[in-house]
């Protein structure tokens, strides 16, 4: 096999750069079991946090324009 370089990254052209050398990673792990009510609770919290941040930013923008600040 011919080499790409002879520096610190010295490796054969047809050698993989992945750690496993097998191609695609093995993601066949056991899925996490989460209750539906937990999913709904976290989803609601994330949506509420995002909504309140956007609302606060919008209120600040409106306040700035009313005071004449860009």
Structural domain boundaries in the chain: 34-70
Q: Please tell me what DSSP assigns to residue 6.
A: S
- Both tokens assigned to 39: 């999913």
- Distance CA(62)–CA(66), nearest Å, equals 6
pLDDT for the residue 38: 93
pLDDT for the residue 49: 83
Under 8 Å CB-to-CB from 11, ≥6 apart: which residues? 3, 4, 17
Q: What is the pLDDT along the chain (70 residues), one digit of tens a residue?
A: 555 556 666 666 666 665 555 556 667 778 889 999 999 999 888 888 888 888 888 888 888 888 775 5
Phi–psi pair at 3, nearest 5 degrees: -90, 150
pTM of the model: 0.39
Tell whether the torsion through CA atoms of 27, 29, 31 and 32 is positive or negative. negative
pLDDT for the residue 10: 67
């Amino acid at each position: 096999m011919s080499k790409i370089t002879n520096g610190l990254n010295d490796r054969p052209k047809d050698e993989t750069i992945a750690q496993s050398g097998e191609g695609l990673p093995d993601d066949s792990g056991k899925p996490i079991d989460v209750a539906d009510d937990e999913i709904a609770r976290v989803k609601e919290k994330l949506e509420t946090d995002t909504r309140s941040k956007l609302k606060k930013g919008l209120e600040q923008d409106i306040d700035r324009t009313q005071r004449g600040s860009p």
